[in-house]
Amino acid sequence: MTTSVDWAYLQKELAKPFPAEVILWRAGAQTRDKKRAQALPYAEPRIYEDRLNDVCGGNWSLTFKPWSENRIICELTIYGVTRASTGEENDGFAPGTAAEAQAFKRACSKFGLGRYLYDVPIQWVDFDTEKGRLIETPTLAARFMPQTSIDTTPRLSMDRAEAMRLELEKLGYASMSHPALVESATGRKVSALAQLSEAEALEVWSYAKRSHQKAA
């Protein structure tokens, strides 16, 4: 196991809900008259892959192994840690592919990825027996959707940002070097000085003056 990995942070990022627009629904158990069915949420494997790429970069890999005649084992390795689960073939289209997808997503849930979908309360909706599909599209409760926060921190006015730009240029920092300067001073990436808070601007200015004095 790689000791330098912050697993608490990693699993928190993996466990975040997917965007609501990528969640699909399939029919589960049906009523006796076949007019209503359970709506079960799921996401395509590529959504899981995108999350792994975003959070883990290239530090993950998959291995599939056969297990009995109609089952497959998926081993998911993230930063040297491997967790596995199984998937079964079904009678639908491309049963082998379905088994791989099921095994993959189950293995992902071992790391917390997509696990929240198992906790979504079951909803019963109208079902089209002839077409074999749900007639209604259920909605997800807010707790099963990505949480967004609004940053209300006051930012520099355009006049204040322009004044800071001129002062930095007097110290020898051309405009094109400002993003790198800000990142060195604050650890945050910005594309313009106007995106800084007043506290960050003071931090950048102090850092710039110290660096200028050392270079003098």
Structural domain spans, the chain:
7-144, 158-215
Our separate counts of H helices and E strands in the chain read 6, 7
- The pTM (predicted TM-score) of the whole model is 0.64
CA distances to 36, 38, 100, 120, 180 from 25, rounded to whole Å, are 14, 9, 19, 12, 45
The CATH code of the domain at 7-144 is: 3.30.390.80
CB crowding 11-22: b at 16 or more within 10 Å, else e? eeebbebbeeee
pLDDT by residue for the chain (216 residues), tens only, comes to: 334 678 888 999 999 999 989 999 999 999 999 999 999 999 999 999 999 999 998 899 999 998 887 889 999 999 999 999 999 876 554 556 889 999 999 999 999 999 999 999 999 999 999 988 999 888 888 889 987 654 556 778 888 888 999 999 999 999 888 888 988 888 878 778 888 888 888 889 999 998 888 886
CA distances from residue 75 to 11, 48, 62, 103, 182 in whole angstroms, order as listed: 17, 14, 6, 9, 42
